[in-house]
Amino acid sequence: MCIPNISKVAILALSVTSFFSCKPPAPVIEESKTNFVIVVINGLRADRLGASGYEEATSPNLNSLAKEGYVFDHAYANSSYGRESLSSLIAGTLPCVGNHIGFEAAPAASANTLVKTFKNYGYSTGLFWGDDTIDSYDFESEYDEVHPVRDDYDTGLHESFSSFLTDKGTTGLIAHIQLGLSKESVEVIRNQAALGETNRNTAYDSAVSELDTLVGEITRAISEAGMSENTVVVVTSAHGLELEERGSVGFGRTLYNESIRVPLIFWAPGRIREGTDSRPVSLVDVLPSLRELAGQSAKPTVTSGESLFVRHNRQWEATAPTKRPVYAELMISGGNMIRSVVIDDWKYIGVNRAADLPNPKNWEEQTGDMEIPSAGIWGKPLYEELYNLASDPFEKTNLIGDETRSLRVFRKVLYAYRFEFGGNEAFESDVEDKSSIDSEMTREQLESLGYL
| Interval 301-325: pLDDT, tens | 556 799 999 988 878 999 988 888 9
The pLDDT assigned to 170 comes to 67
For the cut 90, the answer to whether the pLDDT of residue 424 exceeds it is no
Pick the more confident residue, 401 or 367: 401
Q: Which domains does the chain have, with CATH numbers?
A: 8-21+33-318 (3.40.720.10), 326-448 (3.30.1120.10)
For the cut 80, the answer to whether the pLDDT of residue 389 exceeds it is yes
Mean pLDDT of the chain, nearest integer: 83
Range 261-267 average pLDDT: 97
The pLDDT assigned to 370 comes to 54
The pLDDT assigned to 137 comes to 83
CA distances for 218 relative to 37, 128, 232, 352, 446, angstroms: 9, 11, 12, 41, 48
The pLDDT assigned to 25 comes to 43
Q: Are strands 346-353 and 337-343 parallel, antiparallel or unpaired?
A: antiparallel
The pLDDT assigned to 117 comes to 93
Bridge partners (DSSP) listed for residue 38: 176, 234
Q: Which of 3-7, 158-162, 256-260, 446-450 has the lowest mean pLDDT?
A: 446-450
The pLDDT assigned to 22 comes to 39
Q: How many Cβ atoms are within 10 Å of 195's Cβ, its own excluded?
A: 11
Per-residue pLDDT tens digits for 217-240: 999 999 999 999 999 999 999 999
C-alpha–C-alpha distance, residues 177 and 114, integer Å: 13
The pLDDT assigned to 266 comes to 98
Pick the more confident residue, 6 or 100: 100
ω into residue 360 within 30 of 0, thus cis?
Answer: yes
Q: How many Cβ atoms are within 10 Å of 387's Cβ, its own excluded?
A: 25
- The closest of 83, 143, 139 to 116, measured between CA atoms, is 143
Pick the more confident residue, 412 or 442: 412
What percent of the chain is modeled with pLDDT above 70?
Answer: 80
CA distances for 207 relative to 57, 60, 145, 288, angstroms: 12, 14, 28, 31
User: pLDDT confidence of 213, banded at 50, 70, 90?
Assistant: very high
Cβ atoms 176, 143 nearer than 8 A = yes
Per-residue pLDDT tens digits for 353-381: 887 776 554 444 544 555 678 888 888 88
190 three-state secondary structure: helix
Distance of CA 371 to the CA centre of its chain: 32
- Phi, psi angle pair for 168, to nearest 5°: -95, 5
330 three-state secondary structure: strand
The pLDDT assigned to 304 comes to 79
The pLDDT assigned to 404 comes to 78
The pLDDT assigned to 345 comes to 93
Distance of CA 70 to the CA centre of its chain: 17
Distance of CA 420 to the CA centre of its chain: 21
For the cut 50, the answer to whether the pLDDT of residue 425 exceeds it is yes
For the cut 50, the answer to whether the pLDDT of residue 431 exceeds it is no
The pLDDT assigned to 54 comes to 86
Q: Which of 5-9, 162-166, 204-208, 340-344 has the lowest mean pLDDT?
A: 5-9
C-alpha–C-alpha distance, residues 382 and 170, integer Å: 53
User: pLDDT confidence of 406, banded at 50, 70, 90?
Assistant: confident
The pLDDT assigned to 432 comes to 46
Per-residue pLDDT tens digits for 46-75: 999 988 888 888 899 999 999 999 999 999
Q: What is the largest CA-CA distance in the chain?
A: 67
What percent of the chain is modeled with pLDDT above 90?
Answer: 54
The pLDDT assigned to 379 comes to 85
C-alpha–C-alpha distance, residues 348 and 419, integer Å: 18
CA distances for 172 relative to 18, 160, 178, 268, angstroms: 28, 18, 20, 15
- The closest of 91, 109, 134 to 285, measured between CA atoms, is 91
Length of the chain measured in residues: 452
**CA distance between the termini of the chain:** 16
The pLDDT assigned to 426 comes to 59
User: pLDDT confidence of 190, banded at 50, 70, 90?
Assistant: very high
